[in-house]
Structure 1
């Protein structure tokens, strides 16, 4: 993530400007709506709350909201307030934790993605990546030089369709350390884990298929599946780390889903991991209902050794394992991979050929170098030590601010309850210059609530927690 463009606190409204206060306020909210920092269906602050926050009269707020309605950006709902206008129908909450979410799920994931570009991570406690200064630039530069010196042909020839052969061989050893046995021909490299997930969806699923997903879960995956025509079946994720297996069984019996997409280790956003008993039950259920399990292990290098993987227990029969290096080495490298049965891998190689021929061989060869030389393991140890210290500090600050951890703090993310609607809380915090990740972004059905995700590495600033307390008190006072 770039740190070149910080996210400064919003400037106060200018009383001596030629532009009326109401127009300034309307412009501020209009810009946030267009940038999708305010999502379709989001409720704006009440007139009284907004007037108090910005130090203006209620009449000024009403005029600003009227202007936004005239521009088609807001709608007023009787007895409820002002809401960002929907561009598509908002999906209803499923019955019995269970009916499929319609395919027209809004692509609210763009809010999280936009937060990955041009934002100073020191002002983004809801960030999804490691701070740039935690990455080892020297390691990256050295690996690229070695890759270039040893293989000048990488600059002038197409790479192998399945991915760099040296990297795939190194990955077999990496997977063996995780208990996953896979031959090089079972591996396919991709442009990050995101492309791997996209190839699986397009190559092995069909529009209209029902797919089980964790709720809360990764908003980008919800949006990607919905945009591909899948029907989402949200499975509640327990604080102890696993999905609600009773609900999963009910959904499988009622809707005959084709797949289950999950983050089994250091789940995003809760930080929890599956137990061995939960993993065994999930695999039995998959066998019973002919489910394909897509296991996204994006944060594998931050997990403790010997953490249970579904793919290790299953032997890649019903599972496809997905991981990558972009979040851990460099977002610019976009190196990911998947491991599957030989038949599925070949099918996905063919689709990769049709999509973009090959992936970038140079960074793949560089990753092979850092794997083979043990540099990646040493880098992981340094990051984990630094993350342990950051987590301790962030947890202490969060608890001092009155936040409650819904899941035990582990990995990169904390899932906290702050006692007020975090979608509403996000706006005054944005005014103070803080980019947060309210819980609604991780709900497949866009359900608001008092939960939010924090990144332990970027939430160590005491000033953020002071502003959080101040904004919470202001919301409760309103």
Structure 2
């Protein structure tokens, strides 16, 4: 709660709190601030205090007032333009002289600040379980074999050798051999000479983008989709073409139309345990998608970040395609050691050297000591056993979370699988997220998973962190207040 002090008035404290949320991306551009009366009730202050706080935000250029409608968060890019700091870019995805073929083809992309979005999603404002968390809680990942792996590869002269010289350009050869065997179990034919280790899966995606794309190129991305991917591509100056994602896969009719109008270079897809819906690609959709890629000459990047939570027999484009027109990306931050930042990509032979060059320009090499430790964890079966334990625990947590969510009046838009649930709350989740944030709960509203941050009633929940009945009681109270 706000408390009056000698150094800072209540209105200054409230303005600072709202400004922090705007700057960190927790209040998105276009979001409406609570009415003066409602904000006064929420913060237990007078309406005049709220008016003074909103005036300060207006003066800072963070919000704008719309007559008879209220106060709205300004587009941060436009605010910077007013200050003469940057130039805007109008991303119009329709070529000159082309008539509209539906709003999905004419949508313009609203820029999202990538780093602010990351800070906001992982900001811990309290010690309460965070429903919007994008990963497993740390205690889920604790193991006894990680310290043993580090000790094993850092004993004696080996530590000196691994610390005082750079590692192999493509990554530790032992780890790449282990990854090749792991991919073979998924029916993906990748030799060690087709694998490049990276600083996490996001780095692998960035290597692909920087190698195959140039500023202004069109990229198809599934929507809803991973919020950071939208922001990352926008930061690189790409034109984002959102592709609706359904239970069986992406909307192929929309993709075909994009191909005719814009000749996209790349399609970024999550075939298995799609984030945020949990959908898995069907064999039929996968076959037709590969045919479309061949006909229109675009590359498919398959992000399999949650592969350790999914069945090995799940349909993967890279397995059907044999790494001819696909690039497979995955990592270990979600299942084992986030702080180690180890990811990798497996690529067609003809693209391998180009991708490796991009890695070398960005990072030279990756940490050999940690890569050798991970290779040992894989070879000894430690990772496989750990992943099985996590899957078992997750299944139990998912059952409890689903029961509580349904009892709280939520509806699952997609069958609950994997780490995340995609639920309909029945109210504006942007507004709900702000109210829950005041109480220490960070939500992931559905707008985060769309290219244009359009508000809606959906949100993503983490099954690990939504087993607390207290959270759902607070959720119901806040939802009723809307």
Q: Equivalences for 1:1-16 in 2 at 5 Å?
A: 12-14=1-3
- Provide TM-score, normalisation by structure 2: 0.91
- Give me the TM-score of the superposition, normalised by structure 1: 0.92
For residues 443-454 of structure 1, the aligned pairs below 5 Å read 443-454=450-461
Q: What secondary structure, in the 3-state scheme, does the structure 1 residue paired with 2:329 have?
A: strand
Q: Does 1:307 align with 2:314?
A: yes
Instruction: Give the structure 2 partner of residue 411 of structure 1.
Output: 418
Q: Do the aligned partners of 1:109 and 1:441 also contact (CA within 8 Å) in 2? A: no
Would you say 1:282 and 2:271 are equivalent positions? no
Give yes or no for the alignment of 1:336 onto 2:343. Answer: yes
Deviation at 1:39, TM superposition (A): 2.5
Counterparts of 1:145 and 1:65, CA distance in 2: 56
Within the candidate set 144, 147, 150, 1:144 is matched to 150
Superposed CA RMSD:
2.1
CA 247–156 in structure 1, closer or farther in 2 if over 3 Å, else same:
same
Distance verdict in 2 for CA 1:93–1:63, change over 3 Å: farther
Aligned residue number for residue 122 of structure 2: 116
- CA offset at residue 41 of structure 1? 2.5
Q: Does 1:236 align with 2:244?
A: yes
Deviates more, 1:291-300 or 1:263-272: 263-272
Give the whole-Å Cα distance in 1 for the aligned partners of 2:404 and 2:48: 38
* 1:384 aligned to which of 372, 391, 400: 391
Q: Does 1:135 align with 2:141?
A: yes
Among 432, 445, 448, the residue aligned to 2:439: 432
Per-residue CA distance 1:247-306 (angstroms, 9 max, x = gap): 121112111111100111111111111111111111111111111000000000001230
Farther-moved stretch of structure 1 (184-193 vs 71-80): 71-80
Matches within 5 A, 1:261-272: 261-272=268-279
Q: How far apart are 1:42 and its partner, in Å? A: 2.0
Aligned partners of 1:355, 1:280: CA distance in 2, in Å?
A: 35
Q: Structure 1 residues 141, 18: closer, same or farther in 2, change over 3 A?
A: closer
CA contact (8 A) 2:22 2:62 kept: yes
Residue among 120, 124, 132 paired with 1:126: 132
1:384 & 1:16 partners in 2: Cα distance?
Answer: 49
1:22, 1:119 → 2: CA distance? 21
The whole-number CA distance in structure 2 between the counterparts of 1:266 and 1:108 is 23
**1:51 shift after superposition:** 2.4
Cα distance in 1 for partners of 2:397, 2:209 equals 36
Does the alignment pair 1:227 with 2:235? Answer: yes
Summarize the Cα distance change of 1:357–1:20 in structure 2 as closer, same or farther, 3 Å threshold: closer
User: Could you say what secondary structure the match of 2:240 adopts?
Assistant: strand
Q: Is the 8 A contact 1:125 1:459 kept in 2?
A: yes
Distance 2:382 2:238 in 1: 40
Gap change, CA 1:187 and 1:210, over 3 Å in 2:
same
Q: Which has the higher contact order (CA 8 A, sep 6+)?
A: 1
What are the Cα deviations for residues 26-78 of structure 1, in whole angstroms up to 9, with x where unaligned? 23212322333222332111223222322334333222212221222211122
Q: 2:310 matched to 1:321?
A: no
Q: Is the 8 A contact 1:207 1:229 kept in 2?
A: yes
Q: Secondary structure of the residue that 1:149 maps to in structure 2?
A: coil
1-structure distance, mates of 2:365, 2:4: 57
**What is the aligned partner in structure 2 of residue 88 from structure 1?**
77
**Counterpart in 2 of 1:9?**
none
Match of 2:57 among 64, 68, 71: 68
Question: Aligned to 1:291, which of 281, 293, 298?
Answer: 298
The answer as to whether partners of 1:97 and 1:235 remain within 8 angstroms in 2 is: no
User: Do 1:100 and 1:233's aligned partners in 2 also have CA atoms closer than 8 Å?
Assistant: no
Q: Which residue of 1 aligns with 2:20?
A: 31
Distance 1:370 1:51 in 2: 55
1:345 equivalent among 329, 336, 352: 352
Q: How many residues of Structure 1 are paired with residues of Structure 2 in the alignment? A: 463
- 8 A contact 1:76–1:83 mirrored in 2: yes
2:197 aligned with 1:189:
yes
Q: 1:241 to 1:394 in 2, by over 3 A?
A: farther
Report the Cα offset of residue 456 of structure 1: 0.5
Unaligned runs of at least 5 residues, structure 1: 1-11
2:466 corresponds, among 432, 440, 459, to 459
Q: Structure 2 unaligned segments of length 5 or more: list them.
A: 79-87, 94-99
Q: Describe the SS at the equivalent of 1:332.
A: helix
Are 1:216 and 2:224 counterparts? Answer: yes
State how far apart, in whole Å, the 2-side matches of 1:371 and 1:25 are: 50
Q: Distance in 2 between matches of 1:247 and 1:409?
A: 26
Report the equivalent of 1:154.
Answer: 162
**Partner residue, 2:215:** 207
Question: 1-side partners of 2:185 and 2:259: how far apart?
Answer: 33
